[in-house]
Amino acid sequence: MHVLSISTLFPNPVRPSFGIFVGNQMRAVAARGDVDLTMVSPIGIPLWPLSRRAPYAQLQAVPAISDAIGLDVHYPKFLSIPRIGGDSNPRRIIRSILPSILKLHRDAPFDLVDASFFFPDGPVAAQIAIELGLPLVIKARGADIHYWGSRNRARAQMLEAAGRATVLLAVSEALKTDMAALGMPKDRIEIHYTGLDHTRFKPVDRRQAREAIASDPSLAIPVDGPLFVLPGALIARKGQRFAIEALAQLPDARMALAGSGEDEAMLRRLTAKLDLNDRVHFLGLVTHERLPTLLSAANAMVLPSASEGLANAWVEALACGAPIIIPEIGGAREVVQDQSAGRIVARNADAIANAIRELLANPPEQALVAANAAPFSWENNAARLVEIWRRAIER
């Protein structure tokens, strides 16, 4: 089975953690040995002078083909238009990558075209599948449906791609419902849960983990007081401001924000305004090597997102023994099935603060929390995906 998979969110030599969950999935697929996988990850580069600024200057140096992330990946470049050009990205990506894909197909024919996200990947993969006369599988993960599906131009392209797809994938039952509500054919949507590296994400005794991060210069969080970790990009959709406001009601606790993004300046101002500078720790990007220790040290993981499909961060936190505090979004109830996994709360400071108090008053054992992540693995994820691909080819 020769599969062409397209993903605009994928690790590369410059940004090895970018879309790491898709990278983990595809590495697990390749490791099986029963799929010949051609991975294409288009990289958007704007016109000069923006192209000379970070991160674009570094991304231009990514080679056309590289195995730096443990898998052979094609990295074609396409013209991007930051901030205003997102809806039209698919046509520019197609124009950039179609000639080389046609050549690859002539040299070693593909059996199926796969897209890792619904936008912009889905419309791109749909056009390529038409050109090659092949079955098509498109996966939805959350923001691609909730954000891009709310934009008229993008939604029209997504629905056209969905109509052409052999199979559509959703990371949760809740996302499947949202896809159908958007107008996608529900009878072609299948559930494909995320995976997890259990060798990396596993519980470390909380006290030992706290001491480890206190002595790590890149983290350096004091050992006193309960700790709550917020992983993810610092953007409005993730809602870190609600957690910081909740911290103002919890005088002994600390919060660690593991990520970077456009909201960082605003969040730092809010932290200063609430006089929380000593208890809110801005860690920047935390490597996947350090993240499990940080999560194991946490009394809970807090992520008040406005939308998610089924977040990898939820599952990773649980696997490290950290219960999660999240709103009722996406597949939340598919993960938090009882209080050993955490709390589902309203997206506001008071609700988050109350959930934190409940967990501090009655903390579940780390092993019991971690058991909630047992069904998730990259091996199971890859096996399910290959099964879906095979059935799509046989239809």
- Please check whether residue 201 lies inside any domain of the structure: no
- Give residue 197's pLDDT band: very low, low, confident or very high (50, 70, 90): very high
Per cent of the chain over pLDDT 70 is 100
Total number of domains in the chain: 2
CATH code for the domain in which residue 71 is found = 3.40.50.2000
- Give the domain range for residue 357: 206-373
User: Angle between the 240-247 and 349-361 helix axes, to the nearest 10 degrees?
Assistant: 60
Cβ–Cβ < 8 Å for 62, 12 = yes
pTM for this model (two decimals) = 0.91
- pLDDT over 90 at 83, yes or no: no
184 and 246 co-located in one domain: no
* Residue 6 confidence (pLDDT): 98
383 and 367 co-located in one domain: no
- Please check whether residue 200 lies inside any domain of the structure: no
Rg for the chain, CA atoms, rounded: 21
Q: What's the whole-number mean pLDDT along residues 102-116?
A: 98
214 and 356 co-located in one domain: yes
Distances (CA, A) of 295 to 39, 203, 302: 31, 9, 11
178 and 244 co-located in one domain: no
* Residue 59 confidence (pLDDT): 94
163 and 294 co-located in one domain: no
230 and 183 co-located in one domain: no
166's tokens: 């052999």
74 and 153 co-located in one domain: yes
Per cent of the chain over pLDDT 90 is 94
Q: What's the whole-number mean pLDDT along residues 61-77?
A: 95
List % helix, strand, coil for the chain (3-state, nearest 5): 45, 15, 40
- Give residue 72's pLDDT band: very low, low, confident or very high (50, 70, 90): very high
Amino acid at 355: A
* Residue 84 confidence (pLDDT): 87
Q: What is the mean pLDDT of the chain?
A: 96
- pLDDT over 90 at 160, yes or no: yes
For the stretch 213-239, pLDDT in tens is 999 998 989 999 999 999 999 999 999
104 and 147 co-located in one domain: yes
- pLDDT over 90 at 17, yes or no: no
* Residue 3 confidence (pLDDT): 98
172 and 220 co-located in one domain: no
* Residue 288 confidence (pLDDT): 85
DSSP 301: E
10 and 44 co-located in one domain: yes
121's tokens: 């990947």
326 and 268 co-located in one domain: yes
Where is 5: in which H helix or E strand? strand 2-6
- Please check whether residue 279 lies inside any domain of the structure: yes
